[in-house]
Structure 1
């Protein structure tokens, strides 16, 4: 039996002429897995949905990968073409050492932009989560005509969205050598689990394989060096917040915010702040934590389908 919100999503899909005109057997939600070489780095990505449909590009967070969208992709793939890459250093993409690849958000964004160009994605909606936010903003600013819509889930762009832990991380930015414990805590098993479970009201919806797998990833040779570089470079994102806000005010992309309001890292005020620069933004503060998809996947999928349908996308 469908839940009410899934029933609404199903009704929306059936009412869409682009869907109802196709025989059901021609609509596939199967995800396929690919690699493409971008500037000498092999980028792994997930793909699903009809290739002649409008595209949604899903940009993942730390310390996850495109895997975080595994449950969302099938709910959108009957209507949209989904592309979800792993950033260099994450998931199944190449992880060259920092001596061979500069792990900065500028560089990750440049690689992601070149990835989208290689796939000939000239127009799309962007879904941004966590690290996908600073990477996505750089990508959007580089090619603003590519942006058809913006979906934001705990991807912060406002000072008031920073939780209290960022005061400690700021100590790492000011003195990396003198604060090694900040990074050690950041990549610990306890912190990896807490990113998922802190703030949840539905612990039974969380698969413990998620954080044990993420911690295993963080424990791979070379990962400490990669993630230390990115945590240090994160300071450039906070400095760029006013620039991103100006871009939002100037371009005003159709914006949907689906924010886990119980996230202790990027608090609910960060989600609400988007409406300041995009007054028509649709804001939903959900009873969830940092990885809102872990427990609100069905609701977020329905909100995305309804939102994009209203945009004629």
Structure 2
């Protein structure tokens, strides 16, 4: 679908008259990260999983003609949902999907039914050790090209999946090979550098997101890969401070927890959604 002049790819499954769950993917993947979860949810729910501009099978316009910021990615996602006439939904947010999802929540609090959080950070204590180096890049992007080199490298792409894992046999190497192939395309360095620099706006917005949670108290399920070195387990546990009734599950898994715990996470989601039906 064309949104703001950009071709946006999305996956859709399940009955259209069922409650909708919107799955927002992380970096550097796409809606493909949900390919094993979608069939398990679609028997009961209408599922939408978009690719953001610059990711997956969506268009990747040059940064000279498209502003790669989280504000812009959220606007495109918002416009896509409006075009699909989806005005009430639950959100599954992971990694980059969290800042996009929180922008949707702040813009349309009446549209959010429930929140499912999987290594989607909103707390300072959830930032792992690597973020100290990224903060140096935010302060002086021209002076730290090595941060971008590492961020986009094959080794880092692999480690996003396997770091901290106790279940390496559950991983499909095609995941990181396809991600690295995408990151190696012409224009991707500029796109991902722009988004990495803009990520500083998300950290600055944490207090606003936390205040939103305290005010609105959405039904909240946390399914957090506790072995993630990037968004550490303290970030998952922290949601209980602002949403005391949140269901917190710290799982023996890494950043891409679905790679290791797809069936368990699906069961947790289905049980959680059954306890919080749309009225």
Q: When the two structures are superposed, what TM-score results if normalisation uses the length of structure 2? A: 0.99
Corresponding residue for 2:141?
A: 176
Corresponding residue for 1:264?
A: 229
Corresponding residue for 1:164?
A: 129
Question: How far 1:140 moved relative to its partner?
Answer: 1.2
Give per-residue Cα distances to partners, 1:103-143, cap 9 Å, x unaligned.
00011111111111111111011000000000110011111
Give per-residue Cα distances to partners, 1:186-233, cap 9 Å, x unaligned.
000000000000011100000000000000000001000000000000
Query: What 5-or-longer segments of structure 1 have no aligned partner?
Result: 1-35
Corresponding residue for 2:67?
A: 102
SS at match of 1:82: strand
Structure 1: distance between partners of 2:217 and 2:58: 32
Structure 1: distance between partners of 2:65 and 2:212: 32
Q: Select which of 256, 263, 279 maps to 1:298.
A: 263
The answer to whether 1:144 aligns with 2:135 is no
The answer to whether 1:191 aligns with 2:156 is yes
Query: What 5-or-longer segments of structure 2 have no aligned partner?
Result: none
Corresponding residue for 2:120?
A: 155
SS at match of 2:277: coil
Corresponding residue for 1:112?
A: 77
Corresponding residue for 2:215?
A: 250
Question: How far 1:287 moved relative to its partner?
Answer: 0.1
Corresponding residue for 1:42?
A: 7
The answer to whether 1:284 aligns with 2:249 is yes
Q: Select which of 192, 203, 208 maps to 1:227.
A: 192
Q: Choose 1 or 2 for highest CA Rg.
A: 1
**Aligned alpha-carbon RMSD (Å):** 0.5
Question: How far 1:43 moved relative to its partner?
Answer: 0.5
Question: How far 1:73 moved relative to its partner?
Answer: 0.3
Structure 2: distance between partners of 1:60 and 1:287: 20
Structure 2: distance between partners of 1:299 and 1:236: 33
Give per-residue Cα distances to partners, 1:257-308, cap 9 Å, x unaligned.
0000000000000000001000100000000000000000000000000000
* Runs of 4+ off more than 3 Å: none
Q: When the two structures are superposed, what TM-score results if normalisation uses the length of structure 1? A: 0.88
Structure 1: distance between partners of 2:104 and 2:195: 17
SS at match of 1:220: coil
Question: How far 1:312 moved relative to its partner?
Answer: 1.6
The answer to whether 1:90 aligns with 2:55 is yes
